Structure 1
Amino acid sequence: MTAHTPSNPVEKSGLHPRNQHRARYDFEQLTRAHPVLANFVRLNEYQDASINFADPLAVKALNQALLKHYYAIAEWDIPAQFLCPPIPGRADYLHYLADLLAASNGGFIPRGRQIQVLDIGVGANLVYPLIGQHEYGWQFVGADINPQALDNARQIVAANPGLDHAITLRLQANAAVIFPGVVEATDRFDLTMCNPPFHASQDDAAAGTQRKWQGLEKSRGKPARRSSKPLPAHKLNFGGQSAELYCEGGEEAFIDRMVSESAAIGRQCLWFTTLVSKATTLPAVYRVLRQADAFKVKTIDMAQGQKKSRVVAWTFLDSQQQRAWVSQRWPTATSR
C-alpha cells in the first residue's frame, strides 16, 4: 500500500460532507465507467494512478468519467476552448445551497421538482444543473449570453433521457443585463446561482491562465515559465470563452449589477446567491446589498485544498414572507 503524505492526501480537505468527491479519485473505478480515461492514466511520483491535469483532453475525459459514474450522465462533451470545470468544486456550491434551503425548512433539505433554480451563466458544460438535478431532483433554468454554449448544453440535454423534463435553457440576448429578459413575470425561483466572470479584461484572464500553468509546472517539478509570449491555443483550457472569463470591472462589477437588478424581482425568488472568488470583493458586495435593502445576507465559506472561496446569499423576503413561501411552495418536498 502506498504511504500518503500531506501532499498526497487520502481525502480532499474542505469539501462539503455530502460531496461525493471527498476521497481521492479511484481511477480503476472511473475507467470502468468511461474506458477512454484509461488512455490518460499514469503513475505519479507517489506511484499512484493519476492524470496530467495540464492536458485538456485528460481533464475532459476525467469529467466525463465523473459525470457517468456519480451522476448518471452517459453523454457529455464541450467544444474546444470552452471552460472545463472542476466537478468537485461545482458540486460543493450545490450542497451548500441545499443547506441554505434546509435552514428555511426545519433542517430538512427540500428535494424534487418543486424546487426551481436559476443558473446564471450556465455555460456549454451545464454542470450545475446536471449535478443538482441528480443529487436533489431540482428543476433548473440555465441562462447564458452565448448561443454556442446553449447549443452545446441543449445537445447534452437531448443526449441524456429525462433531462428535458428537468432543465430549461434561455438565451440572454442583452449582455448589458443579467435578470431582465431571462426572468419572466410568472417565474418563481427558490434559488438563483452564479459563478461570475472573475477577471476584468482579456489581458487579466490571460495572465491568470499563465499563473495556473506556472503553478502546474512547478508542482510537476518543472521550472516556472517566465516567457511573455502568449500561451499556445491548446493550453488555454483553463480559460474558456470571454463571457466565462471576464467582464468590465471583473467579478465586483458583475455582482454589483446582479444585486442591483435582483431588487426589482425580489418577490420572485427566495434566495439569490453568487460565488465570490476574491475576499477583497466582499466589502463592495455588502455595500450594494445594503443599498438594495436586502432583508438578510449570509456568507458561506467554501474550501477545496488551499483554494478558498465563498457564497454570498441574500433575500428580500422578511421572516413571515419566507415562511409563507416555504409552506406554499414546498408542501411535498422531502428529505432523504
Structure 2
Amino acid sequence: MLSKKRRRVDPPSIHPRNRYSENPPDFALLGSLCPSFQSFLLPPRRPGGRPTIDWSDFNATRELTRVLLLHDHGVHWWIPDGQLCPTVPNRSNYIHWLQDLLSSDVIPPIQISEEKVRVFDIGTGANCIYPLLGASLLGWSFVGSDVTKIALEWARKNVQSNPHLSELIEIRNACDPSSSGKIENDVVRGEEALEGSTHNPNMWSGCCSELPVLVGVIKDGEKFDFCMCNPPFFESVEEAGLNPKTSCGGTFEEMVFPGGEQAFITRIIDDSLRLKHSFRWFTSMVGRKANLKFLVSKLHEVGVSVVKTTEFVQGHTTRWGLAWSFLTPAKKFIALQTPKRSHNSFMLEGLQRQVGAFQVLKSVESFFLAAGASCKSDLSSFCVNVTLLEHIGELQKNDSDTSEITSSPAIESNNFQHSLKGLPFRISVFHQVPGTVLVRASSLDKESSSGSFFVFFQQLEDALKAQFLKPNTKN
C-alpha cells in the first residue's frame, strides 16, 4: 500500500550555484595550506576516507569558518568565544536563493537611488556573515543591524578587516539607528544597546522583547531589495542546547526569544505591514517545518501578494527559506523592448509530482535538438549549453526522429529569428520546492541582441508550460 505521505520527486540538495555543491571543502588541502587548521584535523573514520574535525569543538568549527572565508572568498574574519559561528555553505545557500528571487522578476524592482542590490540583515551578529558573503560573492550593498554591544563591535571589526568590502557594508545599532552611518572605531552609542551575555536568562523580560526589528531601524525614505534574517530559533536555553553533536556557539540573544522563531518572524511580518513599499522582498530563514506552515498561513491572512518558500540543505542539517512581498507581481515578458541584460528566467509552478528538474532539463535539450541546434548537457550542474548553427532555418514540426517532447503539440514553435544563428547560450534548471522549477537562460555572447534572445526564450517558456502544466479546466 502506498504511503499517504507526499514523496519528493527530487530530494533537496545544496544550491547548485553554491561553490561547495560539487566540491565539498577538502579538509586535508585546507590543513596543508593553513597550519592553524591542521591541528584540528582528525583521521578519516574509514580507510580511504577524508579527515574530519570534532564538530562539538567550538574552536574547530570557528577555525573552519575562518579558513573557508579566507581561502574561498578572500574574506578576513574572526569572532570571540561564545558567539554564533556560522557554516559557510549553509549561509551561501541563502544568498543564492535571494539571487534566484531577484532573477525571477516575480516582483518588479522598486525605485532605489543606487544601482546595486541593497539588503537589510536583521541581527547580523558578531560574525556579520551575510553582508560579508553577499558583498564578496555578488557585490551587493548591505545594512546589518544588531542590538548588543559585542555583536556591533565585532561586526564592525570584521568589516574593517576587509577594506575591499567596507564601502558596501554599514553596521547599524537597531536601538539607535542615527548612530550608525559609517564604520567607526568608537564604542556603541545609545544606552539601550545591550551588553550581550551568554548567561542572562531574564534577557528578554519586560520591554526587551519589544526591541526594534525593522520599524524604527529603517530610516525614512530608505528602500531595499530584501531583508534577511537568521532568527533566534529557540524558546529557552535548554532547548537550544539539545544537540550535543555540534558546537557552533551562540549567545543567549542570538539563540533564544520568547516564543522562539515563530514569534520573532511574526514580529518581522508585523513590521512588514508598516513597511510594505520599503522592501521588494521580506525574507527569513526558518528552522522548523511546522513553523513554516504556520507562518505561510499568517502571511496569507495579512494579505501579501506573493509567498515563496525553499529548502536549504547542508549535510544533515535542513532549514527553510520564507519570502513574501506586498508589491504587485509583474506580468512576465510584457514587451521585448526591455533593457539589455545577460540573464532571463521563468518559473514552472504547479508541476505534477513525477516532474522535476531532470525531466524539464531533458525537455529543454529536446526542444533545441528539434531545431538542429548543437547541445551539450551537463547533468551534474543541470544545464544545457546550446549553439544555434548557421544552417538552422526553423524548428521542424512533428519530426519522428526527435524525442518524446516533439510528439506534443506544445513543442511546435515559430521560426527562430535569423539573427540568432550562431548564438551561444546556456539554459539552467533549478528545483525550487516540490512542484516548482526555475528555468534560466544566460547568453554566452555579450554582444548578442537582447530582443532576439528574449524571442526564443519566450518560445521555450510557452512550449514547456504547454507540455508540463495542465490547462485550467474550470468553467
**Could you tell me which residue of structure 1 aligns to residue 13 of structure 2?**
14
Q: Provide the C-alpha distance between the structure 2 equivalents of 1:113 and 1:41, rounded to a whole number of angstroms.
A: 44
Structure 1 or 2: larger helix share? Answer: 1
Q: Provide the C-alpha distance between the structure 2 equivalents of 1:139 and 1:115, rounded to a whole number of angstroms.
A: 6
**Could you tell me which residue of structure 1 aligns to residue 37 of structure 2?**
37
Render the CA deviation track for 1:61-106: whole Å, top value 9, x for unaligned: 1111100111101x21101110111111111111111111110189
**Could you tell me which residue of structure 2 aligns to residue 46 of structure 1?**
46
- 1:203 deviation in Å? 2.8
**Could you tell me which residue of structure 1 aligns to residue 213 of structure 2?**
178
1:150 alignment partner, SS class: helix
Q: Does 1:242 align with 2:241?
A: no
State the superposition RMSD in angstroms.
2.7
Instruction: Give 1:21's aligned amino acid.
Output: Y
Instruction: Give 1:81's aligned amino acid.
Output: G
Q: 1:55 to 1:262 in 2, by over 3 A?
A: same
Q: Does 1:76 align with 2:77?
A: yes
Contact 2:135 2:141 in 1 (8 A): yes
| Uncovered stretches (5+) of structure 1, i.e. residues with no partner | 1-12, 107-111, 217-236
**Could you tell me which residue of structure 2 aligns to residue 88 of structure 1?**
89
Share of identical aligned residues, percent?
A: 33
Instruction: Give 2:14's aligned amino acid.
Output: L
2:271 alignment partner, SS class: helix
2:171 alignment partner, SS class: strand
- 1:309 deviation in Å? 2.0
Instruction: Give 2:103's aligned amino acid.
Output: A
**Could you tell me which residue of structure 2 aligns to residue 64 of structure 1?**
66
Higher mean C-alpha displacement, 238-247 vs 284-293: 284-293
**Could you tell me which residue of structure 1 aligns to residue 243 of structure 2?**
212
Q: Provide the C-alpha distance between the structure 1 equivalents of 2:341 and 2:56, rounded to a whole number of angstroms.
A: 42
Q: 1:33 to 1:266 in 2, by over 3 A?
A: farther
Q: 1:94 to 1:45 in 2, by over 3 A?
A: same
Instruction: Give 1:275's aligned amino acid.
Output: M
- 1:165 deviation in Å? 0.4
Contact 2:292 2:320 in 1 (8 A): no
Contact 2:119 2:224 in 1 (8 A): yes
- 1:180 deviation in Å? 1.8
Q: Provide the C-alpha distance between the structure 1 equivalents of 2:236 and 2:299, rounded to a whole number of angstroms.
A: 25
1:31 alignment partner, SS class: helix
Instruction: Give 2:311's aligned amino acid.
Output: D
Contact 2:66 2:78 in 1 (8 A): yes
Render the CA deviation track for 1:253-292: whole Å, top value 9, x for unaligned: 1111110111111101101101111111123212321232
Contact 2:306 2:329 in 1 (8 A): no
Q: Does 1:157 align with 2:159?
A: yes
Contact 1:199 1:251 in 2 (8 A): yes
Q: Provide the C-alpha distance between the structure 2 equivalents of 1:34 and 1:181, rounded to a whole number of angstroms.
A: 43
| Uncovered stretches (5+) of structure 2, i.e. residues with no partner | 1-11, 108-113, 176-191, 193-207, 344-441, 443-475
Instruction: Give 1:27's aligned amino acid.
Output: F
Q: Provide the C-alpha distance between the structure 2 equivalents of 1:32 and 1:259, rounded to a whole number of angstroms.
A: 47
Q: How many residues end up aligned between the 2 structures?
A: 289
Instruction: Give 2:69's aligned amino acid.
Output: L
Q: TM-score, normalised by structure 2?
A: 0.57
Q: Provide the C-alpha distance between the structure 2 equivalents of 1:297 and 1:170, rounded to a whole number of angstroms.
A: 28
> What pairs up with 1:1-336 in 2 under 5 angstroms?
14-22=13-21, 23-47=23-47, 48-73=50-75, 75-104=76-105, 114-173=116-175, 175=208, 176=210, 177-205=212-240, 209=241, 211-213=242-244, 215=245, 237-320=247-330
- 1:28 deviation in Å? 3.6
Contact 1:239 1:245 in 2 (8 A): no
Contact 1:113 1:139 in 2 (8 A): no
Render the CA deviation track for 1:288-313: whole Å, top value 9, x for unaligned: 21232211111112222333221110
Relative contact order higher in (CA < 8 Å, ≥ 6 apart)? 1
- 1:323 deviation in Å? 10
2:59 alignment partner, SS class: helix
Q: Provide the C-alpha distance between the structure 1 equivalents of 2:218 and 2:317, rounded to a whole number of angstroms.
A: 32
1:49 alignment partner, SS class: coil
Instruction: Give 2:243's aligned amino acid.
Output: K
**Could you tell me which residue of structure 1 aligns to residue 370 of structure 2?**
none
Q: Provide the C-alpha distance between the structure 1 equivalents of 2:327 and 2:268, rounded to a whole number of angstroms.
A: 17
